[in-house]
Amino acid sequence: MAERKPIESWLTDMDGVLIHEGVPIPGADAFIKKLRESGKPFLVLTNNSIYTARDLHARLRRMGLDVPVENIWTSALATAQFLDEQRPDGSAYVIGEAGLTTALHDIGYVLTDHDPDYVVLGETRTYSFEAMTRAVRLINDGARFIATNPDETGPSTEGALPATGAVAALITKATGKQPYFAGKPNPLMMRTGLNTIGAHSETSAMIGDRMDTDVLAGLEAGMETFLVLTGLTTAAEVEKYPYRPSTVVDSIADLVDRV
Cβ atoms of 213 and 2 closer than 8 Å: no
User: Is-catalytic flag, 141?
Assistant: no
DSSP code, position 155? -
**H helix or E strand, kind and range, residue 224:** strand 224-228
Q: Alpha helix (H) ranges present in 39-176?
A: 53-62, 75-86, 98-106, 129-140, 164-175
Measure the CA–CA gap between 152 and 239, rounded to whole angstroms: 22
Kindly name the residue from 15, 29, 117, 209 that is annotated as catalytic. Answer: 15
**H helix or E strand, kind and range, residue 45:** strand 42-46
- Residues present in the chain in total: 259
Kindly name the residue from 13, 29, 151, 209 that is annotated as catalytic. Answer: 13
**H helix or E strand, kind and range, residue 201:** none
User: Is-catalytic flag, 15?
Assistant: yes
Measure the CA–CA gap between 151 and 55, rounded to whole angstroms: 21
Q: Which residues are catalytic?
A: 13, 15
